[in-house]
Every structure is written in C-alpha cells, then in structure tokens.
Amino acid sequence: MLARPAHLRLDTVLAHSGRNPVEFGGTVNVPVVRASTVLYPNLAAYESSRGQKFGALRYGRYGTQTAFALVDALSELDGSDGAVLFPSGLAAIAGVLRTLLHPGDHLLMVDVVYAPTRRFAEDALKQDCIETTFFDPATNETIGDLIKTNTKVIYCESPGSHTFEIQDLPAIAQVCRQRGLVLVVDNTWATSYFFRPLQYGADIAIQSATKYIVGHSDAMLGVATAKSPHIESLRQSVAASGLIAAPDDCWLALRGLRTLSVRLRAHQEHADQVARWLTQHPKVRRVLWPALERDEYHALWKRDFAGASGVFGVELVDVGSEGIRRLVDRLMLFGIGSSWGGYESLVLPSAVVRTAVPPRTRGPTIRLQIGLEDPRDLIADLEQALDGMPIATGDRRDA
Ligand SMILES: *Cc1c(COP(=O)(O)O)cnc(C)c1O
C-alpha cells in the first residue's frame, strides 16, 4: 500500500488518521493498550528511552499506543503541531491556563465562558495572584483597549456557553499577534469538524472530548491542540503534573471520531428542524443558534464555521421559574442532566452568569441538545410540554 497523501479532507482524515494496522497484526483499529511498567531488554535500552516521553512507549503515565493514535488523529484534524490529552475538558482548560500564566500575570477571558472555566479563573487563578478581566463577547477588534502591560493570554469560547455568541477570532488573533499575547479558544461546541481555531489565528484550541468526540455520554476526556512552541510547553507541563488520559477512554474517543462527521451532520440537521419550529411557537421569544439567519451572530458564524452543532438556547416568554420547571419535567424524550454531545437529546434550564455585560437573554432560557432521534418526535414532545406550560399574564412575544 502506498503512503497516503499529505492533504486530505476532514471526512477522510476521520476515517484514516490515528491507526496503523501493520503495527497490530492487521487489525483495523488500534487496541486498548493498558500499561504502567514497560520492560526493556537491557539497561542501556532503558536509559536511552528516557528522553522520549511522547509518541513512543516509555511508561504508562506518558501514554500508550492508544493515546498516541488519538493524539495523531486530533492533531491532524486541527492542523496543529501536536495535541495533549487530559482526563477531562476542564482539566485541559486548567492545564493550559496554568502552563501559560504565572503570578502577576493578567488574563482576558470572554464573559460567556463555561461556568466552571469562570470559577477556575475567579478562584484558583486568583489565589495564584493571576488577575482576570472578563470582556464583552462583542468586543472583537477593540480588545486592544483592555490589554494591560501584564496581559499574557486572551481566552475565548466561541460560541459562548448557554447564550451562543460567536467571537471574531481573526480580529482578536491579529491583536494578539501585534501585542505578543497567546490566544486560547474553547472549541467544544463546533469541534474540529465545524471549526478549526488554529487556522483562524488561535495558538491553542481546547475541546472537551467528553462531548461530541466521545459522542456517547460514557467517557470523560479533554484535548488541547497547539502550534509550536506552545505544544512543547504543554507537553512538559502535562508530563510534570502527572495528568493522564486513560487508555480505555482514549479508545472510546477514537471510536467516536470515526463517526463524528455523520453524527454532527445529523445533529445539525435535526437541530435545524427543531430550532425553526421553535421560532414559530408563541411561547418562545427567541432561539439562540447562530445558524439561524436572524441570529445576531449569524454573519460571523457563516464566515468562519463549516456547520453548527445541535446545542442551542431557547428564550421563553416570561414563564417564571415555576413555568420552566413544569416545561422541563413534562418533556419525555429530553433527558435532564449535565453535559451534552451524546446521541440523546437533553434539556436543562440555563444558569447564565455574566459580570462584564448583561446576558443577551432577557427571559428565562433553557438549553437543548438535539440528539439523533427523529426530529418529528422531538418536536411533538416539545409541543406537548410547551402546551402545558403556563404563561405569566402580561407577557408578550417580541414582534
Ligand atoms: C463540558 C464543557 C467543558 C468541560 O468538559 P468536561 O469534559 O466536562 O470537563 C468545557 N468547555 C465547554 C464549552 C463545555 O461545554
């Protein structure tokens, strides 16, 4: 068999990257290689292996072939110089920020970040004398005005958690380049399949692989892909801190990757049907999904993203917290629980915390993950649940 060409399209990369049948007796998939100790034929071989911590088997804490395969696949997908794995998405966020920031440094973080990311900055980083300023997701090219002499990192999450604002990454990246800052982006919502942050000027892209990459709600995993020299510092800091992604979880992520494109296209198509149906409903004020033409962030999304995943917000007419509880509890096909990215639909009331600017939502909001079920069944379920939801008197839907 000939070596494969260097530049392949993403669907082909998903099918072919991160596996090497020749190494494993011809099996299509890399097996789960579990290891702590790795044995050497003699002391000289053991000693000469010390330098090679990544990409070759040395000791279980630095990963086995299962992790190496996943790293290869994720690096190729993102067009990065490498990837490092973490035991969860939050561990990836914490690991990246701890690697880049030191006491006395300043961090600019978008106001719409995932709540545990905000808490990490407000608690753990603050304790280490690292100051964080949260910025309006619409700041974009004027972000330069917020930069201080000790600012080291700009952290984006595009679109933002619960309210789904897209940031103008190329504009922010340009400012970062001019001012020598590192740009980090949480790309969990889009995944590398719909958006590749490093191609739009980011230095480091983070994903909670727990979500769409694993794709079946049964493993926790985080990944950071990066350009040089950041990838080298990330590898060193992961090696020094003892963080490890378990081989079984890496294997589940590799399995998830093989179907990522078909799953995401289905999530997108189903979400499109459900979101458009919801926008017509009298008890819905607005659907927050950048793929909808009337969304404020639609133009930016369309310019930079190849697609939209199936997680969005639904702002309701003023139903009060009791109305939201009734709605959520009446749904039959939407599970109530944290996280998303599996094949199944989910619902949760949105807990929106903003400190830089008020949230773009005025009314009570829920977050839906649209799964792989038939969207007609999901719509029927939403219809019956919305029908049973009382509206506070005096509230009107926007014209
Ligand atoms: C879920 C999530 C994380 C954290 O990932 P875990 O794997 O649950 O730790 C980080 N960022 C975003 C945007 C998320 O949705």
Active-site amino acid positions? 61, 114, 186, 211
CB 212 within 8 A of CB 257: no
Model confidence, pTM: 0.96
Whole-angstrom CA distances from 249 to 85, 210, 216, 238 are 11, 9, 12, 17
User: Does residue 217's CB lie within 6 angstroms of at least one atom of ligand 1?
Assistant: no
Q: Which residue has the tokens 């199944």?
A: 344
CB 198 within 8 A of CB 170: no
Instruction: Output the pLDDT for position 322.
Output: 85
How high does pLDDT run on average in the chain?
95
Within 8 A by CB and 6+ apart from 264, the residues are 191, 193, 194, 212, 307, 309
Summarize pLDDT for 135-164 with one digit per residue, the tens: 999 998 899 999 999 999 999 999 999 999
Q: Residue 210 CA: which ligand 1 atom is closest?
A: 7
User: Does residue 66's CB lie within 6 angstroms of at least one atom of ligand 1?
Assistant: no
pLDDT above 90 for 4 = no
pLDDT above 60 for 396 = no
Summarize pLDDT for 65-84 with one digit per residue, the tens: 999 999 999 999 999 999 99
Summarize pLDDT for 327-352 with one digit per residue, the tens: 999 999 999 999 999 999 999 999 89
Higher pLDDT, 206 or 49: 206
Give CA–CA dist 137/140, Å, rounded.
7
What mean pLDDT comes out for the span 249-270?
A: 98
Q: Atom 7, ligand 1: which residue's CA is nearest? A: 89
Q: Per DSSP, what are the bridge partners of residue 225?
A: 83, 205
Residue in 195, 210, 348, 352 to alter for ligand 1 test, most ligand atoms within 8 A of Cβ? 210
Within 8 A by CB and 6+ apart from 11, the residues are 261
Q: How many angstroms is it from 205 CA to the middle of ligand 1? A: 13
Q: Atom 6, ligand 1: which residue's CA is nearest? A: 89
Q: How many angstroms is it from 76 CA to the middle of ligand 1? A: 22
| Chain centre distance of CA 345 | 18
Could you give the strand order of the β-sheet that contains 151-157, starting from the edge strand earlier in sequence? 82-86, 222-226, 204-208, 182-186, 151-157, 106-110, 131-135
What mean pLDDT comes out for the span 37-41?
A: 95
